[in-house]
Amino acid sequence: MKRDKLDFGNGKINSLFRAMFFPTLIGMAFNSVLNLCDGMFVGHGVGSNALAAINIVAPLFLICAGIGLMFGIGASVIGGIRLAERNVKAARIIMTQAYIAGAVIFGLVIVISLFFTRPLLYALGCSPALEELASDYLLWLLPGLMFFYLQCAGMMLIRLDGSPRYAMSVQIVAAVLNIFLDWYMVFPLGMGIKGAAMATSISCIAAGLMVVAYFIFFSDKLKFYRLRLTAKSFRLSLRNTGYMAKIGLATFIAELAIGVMMVTGNYMFLAYLGEPGVAAFSVGCYLFPLIFSVSNAVAQACQPIISFNYGAGQPQRVRQALHIALLTATLCGAAISAGMWTNSGLLAAIFINSSDTAYHIASQGLPLLGLCALPFAVNITFIGYYQSCERSGTSITYMLLRGIIFMVPGFLLLPLAFGVHGLWLAIPVSELLTLSIIALAYICRRKQSSIDRTEPDKA
């Protein structure tokens, strides 16, 4: 396999960022196209209730993604620092511990979902009209979940190992396979929502096997390491796993926040607009991963550069990477906002027939939802920067602000002031409030650092 030649410690930051960003963006763009196609096939092939049912199950899938990304980011940050210290063995141990911990947690999620399906669905906001569809989708999704974990965590570690193009190929293969199987199982085979879930499971299995193959046959420094089966090794694994989870917790909260957004939104849209409202909201939820993917591509592209140089004690290179990432995030966020503002009707028609009540609700609400793209992209970039510098408390605080503390009251209170429009404005308002706090804190910190550097030493 032709390896990407990346020198995180000495290469030009601009070149490194481009080498990481474009493969990451392309891979995530395919995932976004997958979300759009999945919604399009289900919406037109099964119906708007099927879209609403998938929206009920989606928070659970996002929580699983959050667990995978949490350990992937945590292992990548710590592993990057260890590689900067030339401690390859420690980086391999960290990677292995991350996979074992995630596998145990995913096993528990699968067992709970299998044996407590109905209570779980109603806890996620399901209604009797959607129960059968949501249950079918959830049960056929479970076989691919463990492989989905391998994929989520593996993307971060493969990039850290210096192979962003292989990580991109994993995402592309999974997305293309999922899109084809979605179409084939929903339309020619007529399998409905079961077919859509099976397509997702099969693509997850394929991606997970590609990740395992990379670390066994193609990796440079990061490989699986055989852990000792002793009490001391177990204690060290628990300690390292806890620290990985602490570093990556903000990323888990990001995925959890999308789940909270969906659950809260499902309840509120159901209360104000009934099942058509949930279906319309599901269109926004299908488009939100596009915003998330582009923003996350920026954060993930700069993460190994920042963590490596942070570990190597090169703060100037860290700041340079952050500034490039912020500029990229601003441009990408502005482009997405403009696209959602000017093409809301077209975007809604991708998922729902124009004669459907849900179509009119979605086409009116998407421009308002699109206002969140720019502040969201900048927020995620800042949070990724703090994660990469081991400032887990700061990253967790900001993620909680934007994803839960501001957003949930927004869903509850803004409709009282602005009616149905307030439901769509809850997310943009949450992102703008968080960005204001992040920017103010960053400027104050930079000013304080400048004062500390210019003050003469006191005798």
Average pLDDT, the chain: 84
Q: What pLDDT score was predicted for residue 459? A: 37
Confidence band for 202, pLDDT divided at 50, 70 and 90: very high
Query: Does the pLDDT value for residue 4 go beyond 60?
Result: no
Query: Does the pLDDT value for residue 2 go beyond 70?
Result: no
Query: Does the pLDDT value for residue 71 go beyond 60?
Result: yes
Q: Burial level of 5, CB count in 10 A (0-12/13-18/19+)? A: exposed
Residue pLDDT, tens place only, 290-329: 787 888 888 888 888 888 888 888 888 988 999 999 999 9
53-62, 108-117, 230-239, 371-380: least confident range: 53-62
Query: Does the pLDDT value for residue 51 go beyond 80?
Result: no
Q: Give the whole-angstrom CA distance, residue 109 versus residue 145.
A: 9
Query: Does the pLDDT value for residue 454 go beyond 70?
Result: no
Residue pLDDT, tens place only, 433-442: 999 999 999 8
> Per the structure block, which two tokens stand in for 25?
């963006």
Q: What pLDDT score was predicted for residue 440? A: 92
Q: What pLDDT score was predicted for residue 324? A: 93
For range 352-371, the mean pLDDT: 85
Confidence band for 196, pLDDT divided at 50, 70 and 90: confident
Query: Does the pLDDT value for residue 1 go beyond 60?
Result: no
Contact in structure between 234 and 88 (CB atoms under 8 Å): no
Query: Does the pLDDT value for residue 356 go beyond 90?
Result: no
Residue found under tokens 């396979």: 177
Q: What pLDDT score was predicted for residue 458? A: 44
Kindly report the pTM of this predicted structure. Answer: 0.72
Query: Does the pLDDT value for residue 270 go beyond 80?
Result: yes
Confidence band for 455, pLDDT divided at 50, 70 and 90: low
Contact in structure between 64 and 291 (CB atoms under 8 Å): no
Nearest Cα neighbor of 347 from 286, 289, 293, 294 is: 286
39-53, 262-276, 346-360: least confident range: 39-53
Q: What pLDDT score was predicted for residue 154? A: 87
Query: Does the pLDDT value for residue 453 go beyond 60?
Result: no
Query: Does the pLDDT value for residue 3 go beyond 60?
Result: no
CA angle 407, 412, 413 (to 5 degrees): 95
Please say whether the dihedral angle defined by the alpha carbons of residues 54, 55, 58 and 60, taken in this order, is positive or negative.
negative
Q: What pLDDT score was predicted for residue 326? A: 93
Confidence band for 430, pLDDT divided at 50, 70 and 90: very high
Query: Residue ranges per domain, the chain?
Result: 13-450
Residue pLDDT, tens place only, 77-106: 888 888 888 888 888 988 888 888 888 988
Residue pLDDT, tens place only, 128-156: 777 788 888 888 888 888 898 898 888 88
Buried b (16+ CB within 10 A) or exposed e, 290-314: bbbbbbbbbbbbbbbbbbbbbbbeb
Measure CA 52 to chain center. Answer: 21
For the chain, percent of residues with pLDDT exceeding 70: 94
For range 120-127, the mean pLDDT: 78
Measure CA 409 to chain center. Answer: 23
Q: What pLDDT score was predicted for residue 436? A: 94
> Per the structure block, which two tokens stand in for 77?
């940050």
